[in-house]
Structure 1
Amino acid sequence: MTEATEDFLQTTRTSYDTIARDYADRYPSGLVHPLDRSVVMAFAELARGTAPVADLGSGPGYVTALLHEQGVPAFGVDLSPAMVALAREAHPGLRFRTGSMTSLDVPAGSLGGLLALYSTIHVPDARLPGVFAGFHRALAPGAPALLAFQTPKPGESLPRLHLAERFTHRIALDYYWRSPEQVTSLLAEAGLALVATVRREPFGEETRPRAFVLARKA
C-alpha cells in the first residue's frame, strides 16, 4: 500500500469517526427517495440466495438491515470503527466489521452481491480501477454490484470537493464527482457488465443529482 493510499484511508476514517453520531442522527435512513429504495429492492431480488452480500461503506447499517429484512444474507463493512459501533448498536443481530473496499478480506468468488452506496465517492480516481478489480475478484459469477454516487450537475466542471467542516466538526474529506458513464466504463474494464443506470435529480436538501449503476460479474 502506498503512502498516498494510507493518507486517503486515514483521513476518511478519522473524519467519519468524528462525525459518526451526528451523521446517524441526521440521516436515520439513507434511502431518502422512493426511487432509491426501488433500486435497492431490485438489487435484493438479483442477489437473493445463499451466498453473503457485502454492504461496503455500510455506515449506521440501515441498508444492511433492509437487505436482511428482504431475506438477503447481508453483512456490513465500514472504514470507520465509530460507524461500525453505531451499526452494531442499532442492529445487534447483524454482522458489521471494520474494513476497506481497497482490500476486501473475503475469499475469491464468495460474494453473492455487493453494494457501495455513496462510499466510492471518497476513493481517488487513481485507486478506483483497483477497487473495481477487487469487486470482480470477490463476486461469484453472475453476482450483482450496485453503486450509488453524486454526479456532476449539467455543465459542472468540479471533479473534486474538499470538505474541512461538517456538523461543526473539523474534518478532511475529499469527494469525487463522476458521471455514470465514467463509472460504467471503469466497471467494464474490471469485468463487470452493465445491467442498468438510473439518474435522478436532487431531492429535498440534496444539491447534486444522484446516479445508480447496477452491474454484474460476467
Structure 2
Amino acid sequence: MPSAGEHDQDRGDRVRRSYDAVAGEYRTRIGGELAHKPLDRALLGALVEETADGAPVADLGCGPGHVTGWLAARGVRAVGIDLSPRMVGLARADHPAAEFRVGDLRRLPAADGEFGAAVALYSVIHLAPDELRPAFAEMRRVLRPAAPLLVAFHLGDEVRHMARWWDHDVDVDFHFLDAADVRAAMEATGFTVRAALERTHYPHEAASRRAYVLARRAV
C-alpha cells in the first residue's frame, strides 16, 4: 500500500504536469488579470508598505509571474516560486526584473528567514486539508519575524476535479476551503491573523466566493 508521502508526491506530480500542460494558455488568459482586480492590487500594495525596505518578497505559486512582475515593477525584490517548470520558464521570459525558482509549497527552495513578506494567491487550493499546516509552517520558516503574509483562496467545502482544461488533458483537484480552517492552520503554525475579508467573483473569473487573509509571522 502506498504511504502518505507517496500519495502526496503523486498529487504534486499531477499538479505539476497539469500546469505544465496549460501554461501558455494560462499566461494568455490570466497574465493580465491584475489590471481588473482593484482589491488584489490594494492588498498587495498594503503588503509592500508593511515590508521592510529592501527585503525580498516571495510570490508562492507564482504561475506565469504576473504578480511577481507587478511587485518587481514597483521596486520590490520579488522572487516567484512555482511547482511548474514551464510556468517558471514563461515567467522568467516575461518578467526579467524578478527572480524565479521551481519549487513546492511544502518544501520551499529558500533559506530560513529569507523573505520579508510573502503572497500565496490561490496556490494553497491544490493542497489536501492535512497539508495546510505543513505548508504554512514552511512559509513561516522562510519568513522573517513579523513579516506579513497574504493568502487568497476559494471558499467552500468541495473538491473540483478537472480532467480537461482549455482543451488540454489535465489531472488536478481544486480544494475549496473553509475560512475558519485556513485561519486555524495559520495560527497553529505561528501566524497572527490581522485581517480577513471575502468577495464575490469578478465577471471574468470562475464563479466562486473568494477569501483573503492577511497575517503576520509571530516574532
One-letter amino acid of the structure 2 residue matched with residue 2 of structure 1:
G
CA deviation string 1:129-151 (max 9, x = no partner): 10111111111110011111111
Displacement of 1:159 in angstroms is: 2.2
Displacement of 1:81 in angstroms is: 0.6
Instruction: State the number of aligned residues.
Output: 213
- 1:155 is matched with none
One-letter amino acid of the structure 2 residue matched with residue 119 of structure 1:
S
Partner Cα distance (2:115, 2:14) in 1 = 28
- 2:184 is matched with 185
Partner Cα distance (1:37, 1:199) in 2 = 15
Displacement of 1:48 in angstroms is: 4.3
2:37 alignment partner, one of 12, 33, 56: 33
Displacement of 1:56 in angstroms is: 0.7
- 1:14 is matched with 17
Partner Cα distance (2:37, 2:112) in 1 = 34
Q: Contact conserved, 1:48 with 1:71, CA < 8 A, in 2?
A: no
Structure 1: stretches of 5+ with no match in the other structure? 153-157
- 2:214 is matched with 214
Structure 2: stretches of 5+ with no match in the other structure? none
One-letter amino acid of the structure 2 residue matched with residue 24 of structure 1:
R
Displacement of 1:50 in angstroms is: 2.3
Q: Contact conserved, 2:20 with 2:87, CA < 8 A, in 1?
A: yes
Displacement of 1:51 in angstroms is: 2.3
Displacement of 1:21 in angstroms is: 0.2
1:67 maps onto 2:66 in alignment:
no
Q: Contact conserved, 1:18 with 1:169, CA < 8 A, in 2?
A: yes
Partner Cα distance (2:183, 2:79) in 1 = 25
- 2:88 is matched with 84
Partner Cα distance (1:28, 1:74) in 2 = 16
With the length of structure 2 as denominator, give the TM-score of the two structures: 0.93
With the length of structure 1 as denominator, give the TM-score of the two structures: 0.93
Aligned-residue Cα RMSD (Å) equals 1.3
Displacement of 1:205 in angstroms is: 3.2
Question: Partner of 1:103: helix, strand, or coil?
Answer: coil
Displacement of 1:179 in angstroms is: 2.4
